[in-house]
Structure 1
């Protein structure tokens, strides 16, 4: 089957990102993708192996981009300021890319080597931010888990309209993160 000029794997993935962000991961079907790209569904198989492969690629793209967003946010910052910036960047990413965020929240295959590597890169980045705190490796990993749980919970509640009061959400996020940061200064027993 001949490939359509101008259509490549990157175009296909970018169109998938746009559909997922607009309609959610469940709204991403091969039929919807083909319609968006103005091709017949079988033409997609020149660029992807099927819907599971596309969702895996979407998850990987999301992990790479959320890490990039956090890296950019923490440039020139350290310790509390860096972790605070990373938290805001995480939530901002979920706001801008709800479909991509959904794709990384529910990884299709935790054992996929590319997804494991991309996920590990996010963790290693956060561990580097935590290095000045002098935590043991185990303690730092617990802090990363807590951080992710906190920002994921905030982003998920926000996405599902869980914050309905007329109260500034970014201020709530700032207070949540600052409270967590104060806890890093208290020895764990």
Structure 2
């Protein structure tokens, strides 16, 4: 098997999803690939660079899943579908999700650009709700904070009972959306 940068990133992601972000080290990746640690430097600069690459790949994949979930939907239905896709990605890739959160604090311009794509999708969905006064500067942080906080707090239960976690998210989101519609009015 020829070692590639993508193989190194995928191996690190697999380790993160199994053992959490704390389980990812260059040594652990090298051992999993049955190579010596210095061989990794042919494909990556250092551990932080590897984590950023892993996070960027995960962010792009999560964004793609969320965008796909929004296709053909608008308003509250689109926001719910995208939120479920977010939670399902987190359930499937808890370590990569943890790495994404790390990258938001330790990222690069590329990290910020990918995160902007996520926020841009949510802004479009907020605007599709046909609110009278859609102040996305207020609504966007509310939605992103709710989504991240709720899903993160529910992750352990969600892995054990994904269907229950999705139902719980949808019910909680109904309450948040009711508040948004009440505050900003239906157009």
TM-score, normalization by structure 1: 0.87
- The superposition leaves residues 75-112 of structure 1 with CA deviations (integer Å, 9 ceiling, x where unpaired) of 11111110000111111111000011101122265561
**Which residue does the alignment assign to 2:98?**
102
Larger % of helix: which?
2
CA separation in 2, counterparts of 1:99 and 1:162? 14
Structure 1 residues 109 and 164: CA distance shift in structure 2, 3 A? closer
- Is 2:149 aligned against 1:153? yes
Alignment root-mean-square deviation, CA: 2.6
CA separation in 2, counterparts of 1:42 and 1:139? 51
- Tell me whether 133-142 or 20-29 shows the greater mean CA deviation: 133-142
- Is 2:5 aligned against 1:9? yes
Residues 95 and 159, structure 1, Cα contact 8 Å, conserved in 2: yes
Structure 1 residues 98 and 113: CA distance shift in structure 2, 3 A? same
- Tell me whether 27-36 or 99-108 shows the greater mean CA deviation: 99-108
- The superposition leaves residues 32-64 of structure 1 with CA deviations (integer Å, 9 ceiling, x where unpaired) of 100111111000000000101011112211211
Structure 1 residues 45 and 138: CA distance shift in structure 2, 3 A? farther
Aligned pair count? 184
**Which residue does the alignment assign to 1:187?**
183
Q: Of the candidates 29, 34, 37, which is equivalent to residue 41 of structure 1?
A: 37
Gaps of 5+ in 2: none
Shift of the alpha carbon at 1:138?
Answer: 8.1
**Which residue does the alignment assign to 1:125?**
121
Residues 134 and 184, structure 2, Cα contact 8 Å, conserved in 1: no
- Is 2:14 aligned against 1:18? yes
Residues 56 and 108, structure 1, Cα contact 8 Å, conserved in 2: no
CA separation in 2, counterparts of 1:66 and 1:159? 16
TM-score, normalization by structure 2: 0.88
Shift of the alpha carbon at 1:19?
Answer: 0.7
* Partner SS for 1:77: coil
- Tell me whether 65-74 or 147-156 shows the greater mean CA deviation: 147-156
Gaps of 5+ in 1: none
**Which residue does the alignment assign to 1:88?**
84
**Which residue does the alignment assign to 1:56?**
52
